[in-house]
Amino acid sequence: MLLDIQNLTKRFGGLTAVSNVSFGVERGEIVGIFGPNGSGKTTTLSLIAGILKPTSGAIVWKDRDISTLTPFEVAQQGLVKTFQNPQLFPELTVAQHMRIACHLHVKRALGIGRLRTLFSGMPAELDRTLEHKIGQMLELCRLSSQRNDEAGALSYGGEKMLGVAMGMVCDPELLLLDEPASGLGHDEITNLDAVLRDLKSHGVTLCIIDHKVGFLGRLADRSIALHHGAVIATGKTEDVLANEAVVAAYLGKKHA
Amino acid sequence: MKYAIAVGLLLALVAPAVVHSDSILAIAIYGFMAASLAVSFNLIFGFTGQLSMFHAASFGVSAYVVTILVTTFKWNFWLAIIPALVVVMILSLIVGTICFRFKLKEFYFAVVTMAFSEVLRLITLNWNSVTNGSLGITVVDKPSIWTPSGSFAISSGVSWYYLTLALLVIVYIICHRILASWIGRCLAAIRLNDQLGETLGIDVFKYKLLSFAIGSVLAGLVGAFYGFYSGFVEPHYFSIPLGLDIIAMVLLGGVNSLIGPVIGALVLTALPHVIELSAELRIALYGSILIFVILVMPKGIVGLLTSRKHAA
Amino acid sequence: MTQLVIGQMLNGVIVGSLYGIIALGVTLTFGLTGIVNFALGAFMMFGAYATWYLYDVVGLPYPAAVLGAVIFVSIVGYISDRALFQFTRGNLVNGLLVSIGMISVFEALVLAAFTTTPKDLTYVLPGALHVAGIVLPKIKVAVCVVFLAVIFGTYLALTRTWLGRAAFAYAQNPEAAALMGVRTGRLQTIVVVYSTALAGLGGGLYASMYSIEPTIGSAYILKAVEAAILAGVGSVIGALGGGIILGVSENLGSVFFPSAFRDAYGLVFLIAILLVRPGGLFGDRP
């Protein structure tokens, strides 16, 4: 198992945001986590990404507990998270964003040899590799035409796509997507759906959270439904969606 | 821009052959040292986004260490620079670790670094047996360099001119190389959105500390020379106004550029000599420039120049 | 020893109240406009000089001189808000630097007008009270009473009036207050001016106890900011408490430890508090 969440619990003062959650993610699959607002989805993802520290429980990544690591260490382990509200570097262009996101790639390629680049500059070969990779990823995320635009000028959907592209250029083994579809229009969701399917065909493992059941239902191989911070159903996506508890807690509430 | 910098450097190199006025040379020497301070400060402030109020303290600590080693313990000047920079590095690592480990940002960082530099100032002021208290230490020695024809004391205006110009060039090149490397990208990521940088695998703590330590050590390098040119070191070196002068220079020149602080420092060093001003009015002028630049031209002189070019 | 400790306690409360009312201004201004007004120290210094001028040169009675100084400082505060601070709202670094620039300008103006020679007003209320063998200078007792009255009045204004409650709410939670329809623009100006008026009052009272110089403000604003951080930014009433704690601990500290380092004690204490409780003593925001 690539990622194994064991009895994860997070309390904020008296409030239990995540309660005894356990699930696993296998290599190459798309796992959906869904639930209504406030059900603990984002908290769970933040715990995995090291942004929050769990009250108890373990996050086992390739047989090692990573629950005490800081966010950048988690990212270095190959677990990268995108943000629900797109996070940008103001003033910089799309290409410059991607270049910063190549940090881990450069680090892996050169290691301590990076010190030499202080005198000699970046090796031309690595530079070409990065440019190629950035071009490829922007192509995949349908951002090639805006490559030299300031990222602030992108549409909301474009900004979210840039987040996915930056996450992907880190070469993650598992990409955590925090509500990638929220706030997007119909066309943008179709586009996102296609991008994520492309990513899957490239062998990327994805863990996606969303409250839009429809979007996630088509995409995820397996799903986990959360309610009040606890797992109420898990299994194949269509089974989970048909589960009575899920319908009652989630859909029922929504339509009531 | 590159050509303008090269031409400026060339002019600076030949200037002493044309200009023979000692007072103009002195202004240039102080200007070069101020520019070195401003460039190193901008590495921390302009490029990493951390408003350090510790810069004057790094400068002062190094000036004191070198001076005490040379005048009291009779060390060689060049040798004394090494422990001075080591002391500054250790202090900046301690202060930086405390501030960055606890994620003190913006205002908190400014106030805590200010607090540390105040504590250092009080120590210098009250440790009479070593620092001679508020009177400071008079420096009579001059650094010398060895040439095949014997040692040559750096005492004339022209020799100090080239020494400080070399200092500025070295500080500038170091900062330039750092910013052009992967470190520069990490610093930009931290300045613009450290949370995003962290999720992309950047060790925010490490790079903040790196930028703070390098900037502070470079300020220490300037401090090592300063006392030997001016002829004295005093607790005033640690003062908040000196820190503010550096900020004013950086803002006036242009905060997101390497050459901006050099321009700002040269302008602000020369200005009081060009227009006759009393000490009070000089302080008022610095304050007004600070306010004016922030409200009216936030990108400084360099921003003004480059935007003209774009418009044309 | 009792005399010394009690005397220093009284000094500590007075100095601490002064820190406290400036710290209150710092906290309110920060909460409403998102900037730290370092120039409040310079406003305090203005208040002290204006009081001295109105009393010594114009010849007004002392209370009228203080009142005149407060009005004068408020006007300067209003002008500086309209001309400068309104353009830096929400931009902490710019606001900090603009206010620091103002300190230089104000200090230089006062220096040019009145020179560095300290001005002295400490004779306005001579004599001392003798209570159970302890000597208390009358002026210090009077100033202490005025400070406590101002602090109590500010507390009432913040908790009992609509405007005060709005400012209070805004300082603690800007988004919520904006949603509730608090008119932020005017409120911001009122708070900036009120803060400068408090600082001016502090300066006017300071002038009756200690000699005044153009640089007194810088020392006090640092202490006030320390007090505000110590209390926790956003904690309005805590700022007053933070000031008094700081003042008393400094003055009592210098009874028992070398007084040359008295400024350092407060700073070390502040750093320690920030590391243990990043939100400050009374604050809960990190």
List, for residues B44-55, the tens digit of each pLDDT value.
Answer: 999 999 989 899
- Chain C positions with Cβ closer than 8 Å to B: 36, 84, 87-88, 92-94, 96-98, 100-105, 107-109, 111-112, 218, 222, 225-226, 229, 260-261, 263-264, 267-268, 270-271, 274-275, 278
Percent of chain C at pLDDT exceeding 90: 15
Supply φ then ψ for residue A59, to 5 degrees: -120, 105
- Chain B residues whose CB is inside 8 A of the C98 CB are 290-291, 294-295
| Residue B20 maps to a domain | no
> Do residues C121 and C52 touch, judged by C-beta distance below 8 A?
yes
For residues B196-217, b (16+ Cβ closer than 10 Å) or e, as one string?
bbbbbbbbbbebbbbbbbbbbb
Q: How far is B285 from chain A (nearest CA, A)?
A: 32
Are residues A65 and A183 located together in one domain of the fold? yes
* Chain A residue at shortest CA distance from B196: A87
Q: What is the pLDDT of residue B211?
A: 96
pLDDT of C182 > 70? The answer is no
Residue A250 belongs to domain with CATH number: 3.40.50.300
pLDDT of C74 > 90? The answer is yes
Closest listed residue to residue B115, CA positions, set A214, A43, C275, A174:
C275
- How many other β-carbons are positioned within 10 Å of the β-carbon of residue A11? 14
Interface check for B39 against chain A (CB to CB < 8 A): the answer is: no
Contact yes or no, C with A (3+ CB pairs under 8 Å): no
Q: How distant, in Å, are the alpha carbons of A2, A33, B184, B193 from that of B190?
A: 30, 31, 10, 5
* Chain C residue at shortest CA distance from B116: C267
Domain end position, chosen among A170, A204, A232 = A170
Closest listed residue to residue B291, CA positions, set C83, C27, C44, C108:
C83
B200 to A107: CB separation less than 8 angstroms, yes or no? no
Angle, CA of C87, C89 and C91, to the nearest 5°: 100
ipTM: 0.86
| Residue A83 maps to a domain | no
Q: In one letter, which amino acid is B28? A: A
Q: How far is A159 from chain B (nearest CA, A)?
A: 13
| Residue C109 maps to a domain | yes
Please write the tens of the pLDDT for every residue from B172-205.
999 999 998 899 999 999 999 988 999 999 999 9
Are residues A183 and A252 located together in one domain of the fold? yes
Q: What is the pLDDT of residue C199?
A: 93
A103 to B192: CB separation less than 8 angstroms, yes or no? no
Look up the pTM and report it: 0.86
Please write the tens of the pLDDT for every residue from B153-163.
787 888 899 99
Are residues A131 and A184 located together in one domain of the fold? no
Q: Which of C104, C225, C226 sits opposite B283 (nearest CB)?
A: C104
Number of structural domains, chain A?
A: 2
- Chain B residues whose CB is inside 8 A of the A87 CB are 193, 195-196, 199
> Do residues A81 and A167 touch, judged by C-beta distance below 8 A?
yes
pLDDT bracket for residue C107 (50, 70, 90): confident
Are residues A5 and A53 located together in one domain of the fold? yes
> Do residues A140 and A199 touch, judged by C-beta distance below 8 A?
yes
- How many other β-carbons are positioned within 10 Å of the β-carbon of residue B190? 25
Residue C55, domain extent: 21-217
The number of helices, as runs of H, and strands, as runs of E, in chain A is 12, 10
What are the tokens at C233? 């930014």
Are residues A178 and A166 located together in one domain of the fold? no
Cα–Cα distance between C91 and C40 in angstroms, integer?
18
* Chain C residue at shortest CA distance from B122: C261
| Residue B118 maps to a domain | yes
pLDDT bracket for residue B56 (50, 70, 90): very high
Q: What is the pLDDT of residue C286?
A: 40
Are residues A134 and A191 located together in one domain of the fold? no
DSSP state of C210: S
Angle, CA of B52, B193 and B307, to the nearest 5°: 80
Domain end position, chosen among A150, A170, A190 = A170
Cα–Cα distance between C264 and C259 in angstroms, integer?
10
C108 to B281: CB separation less than 8 angstroms, yes or no? yes
Stated as kind and residue range, the H or E segment containing A4 is: strand A3-12
Interface check for B44 against chain A (CB to CB < 8 A): the answer is: no
DSSP state of C128: E
Number of structural domains, chain B?
A: 1
Residue B102 belongs to domain with CATH number: 1.10.3470
What is the DSSP annotation of B210-276? Answer: HHHHHHHHHHHHHHHHHHHHHSEE-GGGG-HHHHHHHHHHHHHH-TT-SSHHHHHHHHHHHHHHHTT
Contacts of B4 (CB under 8 A, 6+ apart): none
Please write the tens of the pLDDT for every residue from C50-59.
999 999 888 8
Most trustworthy range by pLDDT among A54-63, B300-309, C234-243:
A54-63
Are residues A65 and A190 located together in one domain of the fold? yes
Domain end position, chosen among A170, A202, A223 = A170
Residue A19, domain extent: 1-78+172-256
| Residue A85 maps to a domain | no
For residue A148, the SS3 value is coil
Cα–Cα distance between C186 and B169 in angstroms, integer?
50
Closest listed residue to residue B244, CA positions, set C107, C165, C90:
C107
Which residue in B200, B207, B299 has the most chain A C-beta atoms within 10 A of its own C-beta, making it the best mutation to test that interface? B200
- How many other β-carbons are positioned within 10 Å of the β-carbon of residue A65? 13
> Do residues B109 and B50 touch, judged by C-beta distance below 8 A?
yes
B200 to A121: CB separation less than 8 angstroms, yes or no? no
| Residue C13 maps to a domain | no
Q: Which of B182, B198, B201 sits opposite A170 (nearest CB)?
A: B201
Question: Which position has the higher pLDDT, B225 or B1?
Answer: B225
Please write the tens of the pLDDT for every residue from B244-262.
788 888 988 888 889 999 9
Contact yes or no, B with A (3+ CB pairs under 8 Å): yes
Segment B114-143 mean pLDDT:
84
Residue B60, domain extent: 2-13+31-311
Number of structural domains, chain C?
A: 1
Q: How far is C-alpha A148 from the chain's CA centre?
A: 25
B201 to A114: CB separation less than 8 angstroms, yes or no? no
pLDDT bracket for residue C3 (50, 70, 90): confident
> Do residues B68 and B130 touch, judged by C-beta distance below 8 A?
yes
